[in-house]
Amino acid sequence: MALNLIMLGPPGAGKGTQAERFAKLRGIPKISTGDMLRDAVKAGTEIGLRAKAIMERGELVSDEVMVKIVQERLNRDDARSGFILDGFPRTVAQAKALDHVMAGRAPLIVIDIVVPEDILVQRLATRRICGVCGANATVDSRQTCLKCGGALVTRTGSSTTGM
């Protein structure tokens, strides 16, 4: 039976880190809305081009666009045996749409990560991300990404979806 997880929690809780670890352990894809947006834009898909135009105008990517991007991703072969969603759903409309997308699939398991506020503030103040591949980086003296060698930049508290 497929294992379908959703990681919830505030920015800085470690959703992405824990999702990545669990995905490797179980051999299922970690699906991040930020990663999907970057991939769709890079691939030049119809949805990716729509999202790029929206982001370039400084606007938020709509629930409709995000749902279509997630639906496309969940329909790929590697997600049939399960997946971990990181950063989706973020709104009630997205959650309702996800219910429809999941019709006929194994149920969703929701993991809500709870972290004390003082720890979240500390984590958010020191977050770094690769400016090239988007990989998270721990704060230390290095200035380049271990994954691709790109420059590390300060990461904002929200993703490119603005949600």
pLDDT in tens, the chain (163 residues): 899 999 999 988 989 889 999 999 999 999 988 788 878 888 888 878 888 888 888 888 889 888 988 998 899 999 999 999 998 999 999 999 999 999 999 999 999 999 999 999 988 888 888 888 877 776 666 788 888 999 888 866 444 444 3
Domain ranges of the chain: 3-115, 116-155
Q: Does the domain made of 3-115 have the CATH classification 3.10.129.10?
A: no
- Whether residue 107 has a cis bond before it, omega within 30° of 0: no
